[in-house]
Structure 1
Amino acid sequence: MKSRTKFLAIGLSLVLLFPTIGFSPKVHGGEYIPSTQERIADRIREDRDNRVDKYMDYILESAKSVQYAMIKKDEIVLCGVKSVDGADVNSMYAIGSISKMFTTVAIMKLVDLELVSLDEPVTTYVPDFKMADERYKDITVRMLLNHSAGFLGQNLQNAFLYDDNDTLNHETLLSRLEVQKLQFSPGELTLYNNQGFSVAELIVERVSGLTYTEFLHRYLIEPLSMINTKTPQDNFDRNKLSQTYLPTYMGTSTDFPIETVNVIGTGGIYSTAKDLCYFGRIFLNNKTLSKRAVAQTLIPEYRKGIHHGPEKGRLDAGLGWDNVKLYPFDEQGIQVVNKNGDTFSSHASLVVAPEHDIAIAILSSGGSSTVNQMVAEQILADELILSGKMLRPQLIVPKKPIKMEIPEPLFRYEGLYADLMGTYEIKLNPNGTLNVYLPNMPKFPIQTFIHNGDGVFSDYAGTSRLKFVEEKNGHIYIKASAVINTGFLQDTVTMYQMQKIEPVRIPAEIAYAWQQRFGKKYYLVSEKYSSMMYPQHLQVLTLPNSMPIEGYFCNMRILNENDLVTPVALPSSNGSDGQYIKFYIENGVEYAKSSIGIYMDASGIKPLREGIYTMSEAAQYVTVAHDILLAVDIEGEGMFAVYNKQNQCVYSSIIEDATDVEISAGSTIIFAGEDETIFHTNILR
């Protein structure tokens, strides 16, 4: 849902400029030496608040509010909030994908009740689940929870809405899946995907006979006394929700409507840090689930398919959990697990140490779940080190590489590679360097890595490493590893960054069809008028101006004159936004349909006129040639938004309620609404 830019290993080699905030206990040989248990407890209490206060100040550098809590041995020992917008400890935040853990627990509850089996096909419980790919019959319940089902794309259309709990996405899920194909064979690898949890939500409803919200309240929320945990389908005081923000919005208002995520089992729950700690008790010897069910969620499921090896990865997934072997805790035999969540405005992290009965939750309006996770991990490490349960982690000091000649067998890995953001050309030089080029961006600086033996290539600082891997599925990947210094706990991460592709010969008439689309722009028209996507920025799909790789349009494989598909499946979360895009013509205008939505060719955009615009199924766009003062009267349910030449949203009637709007020359306006909604436009000057 958010635009991203990425280049080889940038995400890995980036050294985040965090200030060093830490606590250094007295150590001897790396281990804290306490005098008595009482003095340890006193010191933890005395220093914890000061340390945590500094950590939260750091989060507030990029957030408007941050709420935090820690539970230890069934007691809330830390709970607070820092805010510039009036949030308190009972303010509820959208927790995004942490909602997936609620779905995981709901399924495991049904497993405990012997109503569901993890390794049964999904079709056992949802007989009308079908796809345009016979392999769908092999998808099991377990695969929904460990991200290995093979779904292509995220299917989040009309899910992120402002103050609108429309259930359309939930109601149409099966019909959308019915025409989709899989990205890879079920169980082949772990690749982060939202759709599995939406299907799991359906299983909970079909098997229990309850709505998903009813099930959560009966089996989780009420038994765990989570009084500040709700879904968009609950009737509650929305004033208790934290203030939302949209940093990319360029209008004058700072009072944004309620953020509503209508894929509840995937990312739609509201909660507090304290309530999430209560939820974390499920994994701390609480009796909500059986010990066997809890243990199953903590197993490293990612190892069952193709994965990056023994190194620590970005998605070392269990059931629901993002990571069940967090570094550096795992290096000392301490299992720590985490789940993060991000929406447009809110960001959340839940970190749990089951063996030590500790759970920590940090929620923020603005900021980043990654930063929240790093802070939560630091708080946990402080707690374990001070109590003598963990040694201070040893820092990894990267060594500058020594250039070595590249052996002949490695040259077979030269060629073209792709990820979800682009295509790359890899060239090896016998003198010991690997160069990365961007065929679609020939002026982009070359990125160089040095061969330092055993087929490993490093950047000049030695912080990032690359290696070619041939996997059992026949594909060749570039595995990237890095040491990341943040000012908090040092981290290491490994992932498959790219997959090798080969040029594909296509008929001249097919190549010609795609050449006719060079540089064209397509505008999103299928989202509901209340969608959070419209105020974010102008939602435009811009096509490339060339096809330097035969058979590919940018990083997507050409199937015929009208269809494109993502050709790679990268284990972990680096390949989680694959697409199938189909172009078609309707009423003389070309459209592009993907799992994100339907986009209209710019040729369908007309100049603004005074009068009436009546809505049908799609949004309508108009352009403005001169500076004007525009009055718009909306008859029915709808909104209009204005975008400047830089594609920034400078006004949205969902967010602001201006009578007249100043619009500059070169702007674009969108009208979106329910069928038969009428927009009356009047140019005042």
Structure 2
Amino acid sequence: MLRNRWINVAMLLLCLLLLLTACNDKPPVELTLKAAQEKATLLTNTYDTNSVQYALIDHGRITVSGQAGKNDEEGQRPLTKDTMYGIGSTSKMFTTVAVMQLVEQGNIGLDTPVVQYVPEFTMKDERYNQITPRMLLNHSSGLQGSSYTNAFLFNDKDTYAYDTLLEQLAGETLKADPGAYSVYCNDGFSLAQIVVERVSGMDFTSYIRRYITEPLGMVNTKTPLDSPDEAKMAGLYYPTYTGQLPNETVNVIGTGGIYSTAEDLVRFSQVFTGEKEEVLSGKSAEAAAQDEYKTPLWPDDADNSIGYGLGWDSVDLYPFGEYGMKALTKGGDTVLYHTSLVVLPEQDMAAAVVSSGGSSTYDQLLASEILLQALKENGTLTEFKPEKSYGVRVKADMPESMLQYAGIYGATGTTMNIKISTGGVMSITSEQPSANPNRMLKYSADGMFHSSDGKEMISFVTEENGRTYEWIRQYASVPGLGQVAISMYNAEKLKPRDLPAQTREVWMQRDGKKYYLLNEKYTSLGYLMFPPTQLNLSNQLPGYVLDKRITGPNTAVSELQIPGSNGRDLSNLTFFTQDGVEYLNHGGFVLVNEDNLKPLNYAKKSTVTIPPSGYARWYTISDKDEGKMLKVSVSSNGSFAVYDDMGTCLYFSVIGGKDQTTLPAGGTIVFAGDAGTKFEVSTQ
């Protein structure tokens, strides 16, 4: 009996020892918790963020979790760890995992042409036959960019944008040889979603639920097709509109349509740290983290926040390289939601930040700060590295050969005039409004142009393709949140083009005109947030509409070949005439010239009917109607919106919940709905 008693005592001591050991294994988090909450509060108080949620996972254990910001106006939707946010392009990592799972099973070959899995995929460019799943995941497919007609809707899970992708691609050409270089491309991941569905025989929502979210215990990760409870979604707001908005749905799920929480995202991160090999092998996770971006067309190595893997925005995120650590990141931005996931695979740690308002860059900085604080608190780091700069410029005479780089440079949707003086002063003037419209840098002994604060350097590179690029390197600091490093080809040098007189005359008639959106669904965010498109011929570059080269009386094409992000989302301009009215097709969006807008007779009861084309009906508001109360009968398959003379939306019936509003002088009104929808309109 005595022997048994000693055995029991020994067992008790052993249990206590194991318990103490387990307690000592818990990483310290008090300082990290405090820092995370302080910086999250800074984000909501200073950086236009409505609410933010964050989480940290360390060796499979969520050690930090919290949120900051405002609830909805009635207080009925409190912020909790289970509040869901749209994660935007972070959804691409779910697509990447799905593809890699099917690769492991031998059902997909990363370097097998996509047409073998999707035979109906075709384009007006024979090179499409060379596109592989790897190219879709590393952004090197050569596809133009983003097919987003009816992709962003309020509380509407219509899958039109995804359903019509193959039809849209069938009418396009490629902007580069497949595999030539990596430039961010949303359509590549929508096409990868189609590949997953064709090969697996399942819809994408069902696939990720069965093979990703359920095995990982991600109970708060949904897609629009799951019909998530709106009461569990983070509240959305828009600066020029009073009150809370309906939930935003992004109906290209594999590209940007998933909802999740910070805690669920760090659970997901275990796939990439080797914790969940039953979901994805460590070998596949490691393959996704390779530096896929290193094609011949890419800037030389430098501190950076961009460097594509398979799905990842960066596989060597600054500043973690300063500490000898590999860091992976994927960010996401919808119109209203933002997110960032940062993973340290060798440390078996990750942080996720999701927000309503703000930006994915702010979220990435917060996630990085949480990780760095945790690494210091657990003793992995002894101190934080100071923020970096390029130092003081060293004065030197500029070689005359540098003058050849002066000229007009273009990036997606913009052009800039770079002037270089013989004295070594470079000035950059954008043709578009900018927070910093004029910049000045000076030549330095290292052969580059430096900003006065030492945070930016610019040089020029002529690549093997014969094109000349402005290469910008920059350390951008966000007070209280940290520093982002940027190294990218910012713009490409363009050459002026002479136009035939007749072509020039046709385009001059369009110059400066506003064009109004016609083919977006009545629930589209576009009616709230996207102002009319103003078509401006380039003042600096004859023969161009901004970055697009005019190729005929009714066509202009985007020909940029810029890796990274500034050559993304290229789209051509094509004018066509229907029933005597000229329309503009811009990347699948159909628009009409302001000259076709006429005033509606608001003085008496009128009827507006959506035509068989389904195009929205736009009208002007005259000065004599200013201040009148507009009353509209709105059916369930239609909406209307009212704008002031600057194009700012004052009222959108999808949000407003009322059927009347006051008319502003010089404004416009749009009626949108299914073909045949009728609106009864009157004023008081």
Q: Normalised by the size of structure 2, how large is the TM-score?
A: 0.90
Change in Cα spacing, 1:596 to 1:390, as seen in structure 2 (3 Å) is farther
Q: 1:507-526 residue pairs with structure 2 within 5 A?
A: 507-526=500-519
Task: Give the secondary-structure state (helix, strand or coil) at the position aligned to 2:634.
Answer: strand
Q: 1:11-160 residue pairs with structure 2 within 5 A?
A: 44-61=28-45, 62-85=48-71, 86-160=78-152
Equivalence for 1:30: none
Contact 1:636 1:674 in 2 (8 A): no
Q: Tell me how far 1:476 sits from its aligned partner.
A: 0.8
Q: Tell me how far 1:152 sits from its aligned partner.
A: 1.2
Distance 1:574 1:548 in 2: 19
Contact 1:190 1:305 in 2 (8 A): no
Distance 2:232 2:37 in 1: 24
Task: Give the secondary-structure state (helix, strand or coil) at the position aligned to 1:356.
Answer: coil
Aligned with 1:356 (options 343, 347, 350):
347
Name the stretch that deviates more: 608-617 or 546-555.
Answer: 546-555
Letter in 1 for 2:596: G
Provide, for residues 142-162 of structure 1, a one-character-per-residue CA deviation record: whole Å limited to 9, x for no partner: 010011111113111101001
Q: Tell me how far 1:257 sits from its aligned partner.
A: 1.2
Equivalence for 1:271: 260
Provide, for residues 452-492 of structure 1, a one-character-per-residue CA deviation record: whole Å limited to 9, x for no partner: 12421111222211111011111110100112222333332
Equivalence for 1:243: 235
Q: Tell me how far 1:384 sits from its aligned partner.
A: 1.5
Contact 2:305 2:318 in 1 (8 A): no
Letter in 1 for 2:66: G
Aligned with 1:613 (options 585, 605, 608):
608
Distance 1:397 1:548 in 2: 33
Change in Cα spacing, 1:654 to 1:575, as seen in structure 2 (3 Å) is same
Task: Give the secondary-structure state (helix, strand or coil) at the position aligned to 1:632.
Answer: strand
Q: 1:283-362 residue pairs with structure 2 within 5 A?
A: 283-285=272-274, 286-287=276-277, 288-362=279-353
Task: Give the secondary-structure state (helix, strand or coil) at the position aligned to 1:301.
Answer: coil
Distance 2:455 2:556 in 1: 36
Of all paired residues, the percent bearing the same amino acid is 38
Change in Cα spacing, 1:153 to 1:564, as seen in structure 2 (3 Å) is farther
Provide, for residues 52-100 of structure 1, a one-character-per-residue CA deviation record: whole Å limited to 9, x for no partner: 1101111212222211111111111112222320221111111111100
Task: Give the secondary-structure state (helix, strand or coil) at the position aligned to 1:385.
Answer: helix
1:622 aligns with 2:608: no
Q: Tell me how far 1:385 sits from its aligned partner.
A: 2.3
Equivalence for 2:450: 458
Change in Cα spacing, 1:440 to 1:297, as seen in structure 2 (3 Å) is closer
Distance 1:290 1:46 in 2: 33
Kindly name which structure, 1 or 2, has the bigger radius of gyration based on alpha carbons.
2
Provide, for residues 288-307 of structure 1, a one-character-per-residue CA deviation record: whole Å limited to 9, x for no partner: 11121111110011013411
Distance 1:555 1:635 in 2: 41
Distance 2:414 2:672 in 1: 32
Change in Cα spacing, 1:356 to 1:636, as seen in structure 2 (3 Å) is closer
Change in Cα spacing, 1:236 to 1:396, as seen in structure 2 (3 Å) is closer
Aligned with 1:169 (options 126, 150, 161):
161
Provide, for residues 618-666 of structure 1, a one-character-per-residue CA deviation record: whole Å limited to 9, x for no partner: 0010111122111100245100000011211111110012243211221
Task: Give the secondary-structure state (helix, strand or coil) at the position aligned to 2:283.
Answer: helix
Equivalence for 1:25: none
1:634 aligns with 2:646: no
1:491 aligns with 2:475: no
Equivalence for 1:551: 543
Contact 2:250 2:257 in 1 (8 A): yes
Distance 1:446 1:175 in 2: 42
Q: 1:399-418 residue pairs with structure 2 within 5 A?
A: 399-418=391-410
Q: Tell me how far 1:545 sits from its aligned partner.
A: 5.8
Task: Give the secondary-structure state (helix, strand or coil) at the position aligned to 2:237.
Answer: coil
Letter in 2 for 1:53: Q
Provide, for residues 34-62 of structure 1, a one-character-per-residue CA deviation record: whole Å limited to 9, x for no partner: xxx99997883332222111011112122
Aligned with 1:528 (options 518, 521, 528):
521
**Number of residues paired by the alignment?**
644
Provide, for residues 433-465 of structure 1, a one-character-per-residue CA deviation record: whole Å limited to 9, x for no partner: 2233457899x9653221112421111222211
Q: Tell me how far 1:331 sits from its aligned partner.
A: 2.8
Name the stretch that deviates more: 303-312 or 225-234.
Answer: 303-312
Equivalence for 2:670: 670
Letter in 2 for 1:278: R
Contact 1:518 1:546 in 2 (8 A): no
Change in Cα spacing, 1:202 to 1:307, as seen in structure 2 (3 Å) is same
Q: Tell me how far 1:498 sits from its aligned partner.
A: 1.1
Q: 1:554-569 residue pairs with structure 2 within 5 A?
A: 554-569=546-561
Task: Give the secondary-structure state (helix, strand or coil) at the position aligned to 1:670.
Answer: strand
Name the stretch that deviates more: 62-71 or 617-626.
Answer: 62-71
Distance 2:281 2:95 in 1: 16
Q: Tell me how far 1:381 sits from its aligned partner.
A: 0.8
Change in Cα spacing, 1:448 to 1:181, as seen in structure 2 (3 Å) is same
1:210 aligns with 2:205: no
Contact 1:151 1:181 in 2 (8 A): yes
Relative contact order (C-alpha < 8 Å, sep 6+): which is higher? 1
Letter in 1 for 2:55: A
- Provide structure 2 residue ranges, at least 5 long, that are not aligned to the other structure: 1-20, 72-77
1:375 aligns with 2:366: yes
Distance 2:282 2:680 in 1: 62
Equivalence for 1:11: none
Contact 2:537 2:546 in 1 (8 A): no
Cα RMSD (Å): 2.1
Distance 1:441 1:227 in 2: 44
Letter in 2 for 1:387: N
- Provide structure 1 residue ranges, at least 5 long, that are not aligned to the other structure: 1-36
Distance 1:519 1:404 in 2: 43
Contact 1:314 1:572 in 2 (8 A): no
Contact 1:70 1:359 in 2 (8 A): yes
Q: Tell me how far 1:614 sits from its aligned partner.
A: 1.0
